[in-house]
Structure 1
Amino acid sequence: MSDLLLVVTIAGERVALPAAAVESVVELDTLIPVPRAAPHIAGLSALRSRVLTVVDCRRSLELGASDRPSGIREAAVVEIDGHHYALIVDVVEDVVEALSDPVPVRAAMAPGWERASAGMVETESGPLLLVDVAALVSGAEAKAA
């Protein structure tokens, strides 16, 4: 396998997002709140004349709110079904190559990580959890529906 992965940190954990799903990496400084939005939706932001729905990955994974409620936030921009989302992460690290196909995780994980896991992939820096970006966007409410 030679897929590229974007290595990010969410809630202190180094994980991988499929680089093919990521349009860009940005810094967001302004969020507009959305009344009555799902708890994992941090708000709306604008990027190059596009409206982005901003997803707090920590809340989506049921790990509490982001440590940085205001100020500049790092985010990976993804498109799902024609809609653009910015996934707030703690840190964007690097792009690396996957050295293996995803394999099932053989360990107990918190419910949010379990829901968003697409398996473990091997990289030069060791194994990383591959995260399903659609599961992050859907949030915990999707599993209840």
Structure 2
Amino acid sequence: MSELLLICLVAGRRAAIPTERVLSVIELEAVTPIPRAPEFIVGLAALRSQALTVIDCRVSLGFEPSKQVVGNRAAVVEHEGHRYALLVDAAFDVAEPLTDPVAVPGGFGEGWQFAAQGMVETDSGPALLVDVDQILAGPRLARDHLSAA
């Protein structure tokens, strides 16, 4: 594995988002709520006259919502022609993985078991490798409930 990773903090854990998926890292200035949207969708934000759907990574992983949205960092990604801002607790480094991903050890929670492609080692320590598509899909329990209906 030789790609670069955006190292961030999500729900108290060091996480790594492949930079090949990241268009930019922004500080959220204003977010407009979307009525009746699922809880993991915080709302809409603007970036250079483009609308971004803001996704709370914490909620998508099954944790409590972020306490602060405005002023927090977000990784801007594109998926199927739409842009999203992945709200993280902090974004602080770009690093190269030193190892290939290994299985996520227990104790991180069901959300991480589902939405992490594995754990990688970096110069600054281990990080959970984020599967961006799974974060965008929302909490696993909600999807399981909808598919059963």
CA distance in 1, matches of 2:116, 2:144: 13
How far off is 1:143 after superposition? 4.1
| More off after superposition, 106-115 vs 30-39 | 106-115
- Could you say which residue in structure 2 is the equivalent of 1:14? 14
Aligned residues: 144
Q: SS at the partner of 2:135?
A: helix
Q: 1:119 to 1:45 in 2, by over 3 A?
A: same
Higher strand share: 1
Deviations 1:17-58 (A, max 9, x none): 111110000011111110111110000011011110000111
How far off is 1:95 after superposition? 0.1
Once superposed, which parts of structure 1, at least 4 consecutive aligned residues long, lie more than 2 Å away? 106-109, 141-145
- Could you say which residue in structure 2 is the equivalent of 1:121? 120
Structure-2-length-normalised TM-score: 0.90
How far off is 1:121 after superposition? 1.0
One-letter amino acid of the structure 1 residue matched with residue 125 of structure 2? G
The answer for unaligned runs of 5 or more in structure 2 is none
Q: 1:18 to 1:7 in 2, by over 3 A?
A: same
CA distance in 1, matches of 2:2, 2:72: 30
The answer to whether the Cα contact below 8 Å between 2:13 and 2:127 also exists between their aligned partners in 1 is no
| More off after superposition, 133-142 vs 3-12 | 133-142
One-letter amino acid of the structure 1 residue matched with residue 138 of structure 2? G
Give % identity: 50
How far off is 1:106 after superposition? 3.4
- Could you say which residue in structure 2 is the equivalent of 1:76? 75
Q: SS at the partner of 2:58?
A: helix
Q: SS at the partner of 1:38?
A: coil
| More off after superposition, 39-48 vs 108-117 | 108-117
Say if 2:92 is the partner of 1:93: yes
Say if 2:133 is the partner of 1:134: yes
